[in-house]
Structure 1
């Protein structure tokens, strides 16, 4: 009897391996459930006001530069950049394969729009100061200047030029802050305040927003349009407020 049972088990295992059903079932989806110190107030990068939203927004969006595992600066939405000899002009080359989650390209105009939106007094961004080193940014934010006077310019679709008021050695570090990330103008123009809702949010990061049940969980799923999607190992990330 035992001998027959062992034979049957061995046959079933061989069959499962041959058909792939064994591995398909075991590795169907990789889910990461992580705690969040408190409920996020928003996932709009320019409306963020607490540290609770930082990790969430970093998963959904990607700025020009980012940190690696050791907090070293590495390319993000920009694949490279140069700095003028006097330290005041930064020229970023965006990735040509950078896409929004709706499949449209991430362009230099998206960053111009987003930097203007962050500084626009109407946005009331609590972290507007992240771009104060940029020429004209503080004046626009404090109603002493205009958006067009800010030192941000799209040279072409993949080239963004940022001019600072004075040399600022820590400027690139400031660009890792979630408030400086780009947003999708077409989505905001079309949906207004609803642009951040699950299933509607257009983002350029490793994940898209699938569900948001207040005080329960926020679910993100892998973004297949992300330029480095092949390196994203987690299929689902659930943020659970604790």
Structure 2
């Protein structure tokens, strides 16, 4: 069996061979109407009821659509719904679907597709990690937790084929942001029930976004083709090719040889950052994304919050931007500066090596004596390894503890976090919608993405109250309180930094619009000179 490195060398060679055989090596090599991108890793799944990772969502958000969608300013605008009304003090939404909206097999979209999709996600048997994002809907939590068995009692109703009625538990200022996100997308009951676990394979999947899944050559490439029924707006591209090249040096070489049209930080080796910064097409943007060290609070010694606090205070966050060199913003807080009205840089365990040593001694490990053998896990990627090594060195220097580090391939890593999280793990989280709730609900007790297994009823109540509060000042106060619990009182995680994105686009790529959620919407992009 080929190793991952051998495979990618073959991939690189196969892509470059046609270029090297061209009689005119100076000729720019691009394919009109085709956009070539690097995903980096194989998507875990294209079932938007079960996806959790950005690699999956990069594809899903281009084959599907929701009631609303984001513009480049991250404002929710009409999509599959042409308009809507809000009544009952902000608790009742009536969505009027576009009558021209169709699935990729030509079948008209109906409100029943939304009802089925939301019921499926909330069905406990689906075990959807993102089910908690539908909890604002009336009775959603009760149904998802098994306390309510009748899905027809959920606050979602098909009034007729083109009208969808939604009842919320309480007013929610960002509900239209949620309806732009993947877990709120419609689903086809007939397709899912017919093909079951294989419904997302290219020969089976039916979608209603700007593109359809044409091919999925696992661990190599996904190909999307233009959806002839999509008119919101009509896609300018005929095809998108997503290559799966995890090795950043290989991906960067493909870009330099005009075999990829766009790349971002996941395709740029750390050793090439200085070179990239000098390239004329380079653009750098701040993201609504944070990277953190997670603690499994159910595994000793991290079931002791004194140990967690010691490990957080022992981290000098200024190290990470120096190691990665991508303009990261050091952080001990969790809500990023892009959500400026809720940004609180004073919150968290700022670097304090003296206090870190004292806390570890108080926990029973003076100067690291008798500290057990523990492992920090990270996904197989150069930058993730550098982060783990920097954290490992900090803990060794300040606390005199030796931490082992280990890596896993992306899919295996996700499965490990879901099933048996290690003592420590490196993770990042990007906004699913432009509101602090997306960062704070991550660590609620009902979140399927809360890999550290930390729970706090008080924290849950504060976050829930903040989501249902429309007053800005009160929301700010509530989120400050919640962050203090998360980061200072319980130390459920140790934030490291807020991420930035480096983008490089070839000159033949037109209408590429960046947003701080790092979502690449391809419907307006074109490839032409």
* TM-score bucket (shorter structure): 0.7 to 0.9
TM-aligned CA deviation for residue 148 of structure 1: 1.5
Relative contact order: is structure 1 or structure 2 higher (C-alpha 8 Å, sep ≥ 6)? 1
For 1:168, which of 161, 168, 172 is the aligned residue? Answer: 172
* 3-state SS, counterpart of residue 115 of structure 1: helix
Post-superposition Cα deviations, 1:67-117, rounded to whole Å, max 9, x if no partner, equal 012212111111111100410000000000010111111100110000100
Contact 1:210 1:219 in 2 (8 A): yes
Specify which of 185, 191, 198 is matched with residue 189 of structure 2.
185
Q: Distance in 2 between matches of 1:29 and 1:99?
A: 27
Residue from 207, 212, 233 that aligns with 1:208? 212
The partner residue of 1:95 within 69, 73, 98 is 98
CA displacement at 1:29 relative to structure 2: 4.7
- Asked whether the 8 Å contact 1:211–1:219 carries over to 2, the reply is yes
SS of the residue corresponding to residue 219 of structure 2 reads coil
**Runs of 4+ displaced beyond 3 Å:** none
- Structure 2 CA distance for partners of 1:35 and 1:28, relative to 1, 3 Å: closer
Is 1:217–2:221 an aligned residue pair?
Answer: yes
Aligned to 1:55, the other structure's residue is in SS state helix
* RMSD after superposition: 1.7
Displacement of 1:228: 3.0
Alignment of 1:114-153 (within 5 A): 114-146=117-149, 147-153=151-157
On the 8 A contact 2:79/2:232 being kept in 1, the answer is: no
Segments of structure 1 that go 5 or more residues without pairing to the other structure are 1-26
Distance 1:76 1:217 in 2: 28
Partners of 2:31 and 2:219 in 1: how far apart? 28
Distance 1:160 1:118 in 2: 17
In structure 1, what is the equivalent of residue 240 of structure 2?
237
Indicate the SS of the match to 2:195.
helix
The answer on 1:32 being equivalent to 2:32 is: no
Mapped partners of 2:231, 2:126: distance in 1: 29
Asked if 2 retains the 8 angstrom alpha-carbon contact of 1:108 and 1:158, the reply is yes
Which piece of structure 1 moves more, 116-125 or 188-197? 188-197
Match of residue 58 from structure 1: 61
> What is the Cα deviation at residue 219 of structure 1?
0.6
Report the Cα distance in structure 2 between the residues aligned to 1:109 and 1:223, rounded to whole angstroms. Answer: 21
SS in 2 for 1:221: strand
Which structure 2 segments of 5+ residues have no match?
A: 1-29, 247-529
The number of equivalent residue pairs is 216
- Secondary structure (helix, strand or coil) at the match of 1:218 reads strand
CA distance in 2, matches of 1:176, 1:64: 6
Q: CA deviation at 1:189?
A: 2.1
